[in-house]
Structure formats: C-alpha cells, structure tokens
Amino acid sequence: MLELVPIFFFAVVCLSLMAGYPVALTLTGVSLFFALAGSLAGVFDSAYISLIPNRIYGILANQNLFAVPLFVFMGVMLEKSRIAEDLLKNMAIVFGKFPGGLGLSVIVVGMLLAASTGIVGATVVTMGILSLPTMMKAGYKPSLAAGTICATGTLGQIIPPSICLVLLGEVISNAYQQSQLNAGVFAPDFISIGDLFAGAIIPGLILVLAYGTYILVIAWLKPEVAPALEKPELELTKSEIILALLKGLLPPVVLMVAVLGSILLGVATPTEAASVGAVGAMLLALLKQALKLQMLHQVAIETLRVTSMVYLILVGAAIFSSVFRGFGGDVLIEALLTNLPGGVVSATFLVMLLIFLLGFILDFIEITFMIVPLVGPILLAMGVDPVWLGIMIAVNLQTSFLTPPFGFSLFYLRSVAPAEIRTSDIYRGVIPFIIIQLGLMLLLALQPSLATWLPSIL
C-alpha cells in the first residue's frame, strides 16, 4: 500500500486544483500536509523538507528565469500601446479583399502577438476583442471565426520567444544534466533555452502555414463562410498597399528579429535579449505616442502580477516535487516507464498522453514544473533527444489548450465573445485546428530532425 501513496498524493493535488483553489497555495498546502502526515506515520523522510529552502533559493537566483518578467513586460507593453490593433487593421487592408484574407490576417497578427506576449490567455482575449467583431461583421461563419482565434492564440506556446519555451528550456536542461549524472557522466552536455528556441522555429512556421492553408482552402471551397471584405477603402494603389503592409508588419517583426536573432546567433543570453525586447517595446510605444506615465504604471502592475503568479507556482512546484520524491514517487514512475512493453516509444507515448490529459485541468506552468522534472530524466536516459522532447511537450500543451470541453483557450474566448457566438460554435471551430496540431506531433515523431536540425547547425 505504501507504494500507492505518491499516486494518492498526486490525485489529491489534481482534485484540489479542479475544485478551484489557487494553484501555488494548493501545491504548497497539500504537499506540506502529506509530508507532515507521512512523517508522523513514519513513511516519509523529513530530510526532503530540508532540501526545499535551497531549491527555492535556486529558483529565485536563476538568471535564466529573469527573462520571464522582461518578456511579460514586452508583451504587455505591445498590447497596451495598441500596436496589435494597428497591425490587424493594416493587414486587413492588404488581404481583406480576398476570400479568407481576413482570417489569414488574424493568423499572422496572432502569430506576432503570441510571440511577443507568450501568454495564451492574453493573446486569445486580445484577438477576441479586436478581430472577432470584425470577422462576424464581414460574414464569417461563427465556428470558423472562433476556431481561428482560439488556435492562433495558442501559438504563443510554440513560437519563440515564448515564456513556455523559456520555462521548458530551463526544466529540460536540468533534466538532461540529471539523466547524464545518473548514467555516470560527470562532464554532462548542456541544452540551453536558445536551443529550444531554435528547435521551435520550423515546427512553429509549419503550424502557421498549415493554419493559413486551411483557411484559404475553406475560403476557396466555400467562399460564403469566409467572404472577402467589400469596402471602397480597400481599393488602394500598389504603393499604398506596400506602405500599409510595412507600417503594420515592420515594427513588431524588427523587434522579434532583434530579440530572437541575438539569442540564436549567440550575441545575447535569453535574459539579455528579453531586456532588449522590453526596451524595444517601450520605444515602439514612444514612437506611436502611446507611452504615457499612466500606461507605464499599468504595464508594470500587470507584469508584477503575472511574474508573481509564475514564481509562486515555481515555489509550490518545488515543494511538491520534493515531497513527491520523498514518498518514492520518482522511483515508481521510473519503474512504470522503463518496464513498459515497447520500450522508449511506449514510454514517450504514455508521457505525452498524460501531459495532454493534464492540460485540461492544469496550466502549462504547473505541468512544466510538476510533471516534466519527474518524467524528463527517465525519458532522456532512455535516449530521447532533449530538444525534440521539449518541442513535443510544447506542441502537446498547445493542443490541450484547444481540446473541448476543458481547453483553457475556449474559456478565454467565451469570456469576451458576443452572445450570438454559442459555446458549441467555439467547440466545433477548434476541431480542425486540433487535427492539424496532432498532425504536427505525428510529423515530429516521424521526422525528429524538424526540431533538431536547426539547433545542431547553430
């Protein structure tokens, strides 16, 4: 019976989270309660509790994690300065006169916004407020409009620079080193956040291309569900179209290239590049004459709120991980994965299925810091490539955000969608995009080089 305690512990944590209790407090409170009960019963080694202060200090002093508040600041600044709104307006001018053009504009804008904010909720809500009324007014089918926005909003999970990849990169790096130390390699190789950024570029672009292709094919087969905009102001000259495209695309693209390029070329660490992004976002807001003291205060408060949430969850996850290991949970998981018939393929599939299902009830931050440190070293010791594993987890988490009935992205859009958009429309609309993302996961499973090639040459 004692070997089942970790499973019972994990189940209580999940049930508490589903009951709506705050994530950080749930992880901490339930973990310490089980640790106390286990110590009194003589089945828990209290030495694992003494490790917690060092682990918390390691989180707070981790320079890679300093990139989180800087990337959050950059995203919130771009959102508050209404750069995304201008971008969508100019993209609609260029592509709106074609069937499916407005949907294509939403995907491009959502891609850039997702890369800059890195937070699914913020992207979906922003795109829902900005583009959903325009798409409905243009005559788009409600399910297609809702599905496009939900799916586009989740691109922040996979397109760098994203907070998800920053956190995953840190955890995968630690897991990779741990797996090598366990194997007796005392001069371990390192995997950086930049490696994960590089590995995500090709899968991210494939996903955006697949989304866009789906919209254009639907518009070609059924023009009435994704009609062109019919407005006199769309009759522009070629030079005006180019000017509108440059005016909309150039500022955020230059910022993304500066941030991502400096990381991939090895000029700057992710934290240094994030600071460049934060300053660049302020400069864009200044050039747009949107940077006011009140707005700067709002951006700072929102950055503090999101960063505090992230770090509280990290602390809670560190306490959970220590207690879970104290009950022998890591040994139980290792025995389960290594004894599966089918070896590494079955083990990887089981882990991906678990992460997918947990994505219904947990946010990507909790999964990244609760689950990946437990299963990562085992899979990596079995020969799985660390960059490939990180990208697969990121795409998997992105898919779980869309899956009815519990996908977070669906609830985010529901909160800002007008009454005429039914919940069933949102559910139906995301199904083709879920199939596309599952197709990408299958493609990555069959062709791992799509994720590993670029990091290997850089």
What are the b/e assignments for 366-376, b being 16+ CB within 10 Å?
bbbbbbbbbbb
Handedness of CA 191, 352, 356, 202 (dihedral sign): positive
Mean pLDDT in residue range 243-269: 79
Biggest alpha carbon distance in the chain? 79
Mean pLDDT in residue range 140-165: 86
Q: Percent of the chain, pLDDT > 90?
A: 19
DSSP-derived 3-state class of residue 104: helix
pLDDT at position 435 is: 93
More confident residue, 105 or 240: 105
Q: Which range scores top for mean pLDDT: 198-202, 309-313, 324-328, 330-334?
A: 198-202
The model's pLDDT over 75-134, given as tens digits with 9 standing for 90+, comes to 788 778 877 777 777 777 777 778 888 888 888 888 877 766 566 666 787 778 878 888
Mean pLDDT in residue range 408-434: 86
Q: What is the DSSP letter of 341?
A: T
Mean pLDDT in residue range 357-384: 83
pLDDT at position 443 is: 95
Among candidate residues 126, 118, 70, the one with its CA nearest the CA of residue 398: 118
Among candidate residues 318, 304, 243, 256, the one with its CA nearest the CA of residue 54: 318
pLDDT at position 117 is: 59
Average pLDDT, the chain: 84
DSSP-derived 3-state class of residue 133: helix
Among candidate residues 399, 398, 386, the one with its CA nearest the CA of residue 448: 386
Question: Does residue 188 surpass a pLDDT of 70?
Answer: no
Confidence of residue 45 (pLDDT cuts 50, 70, 90): confident
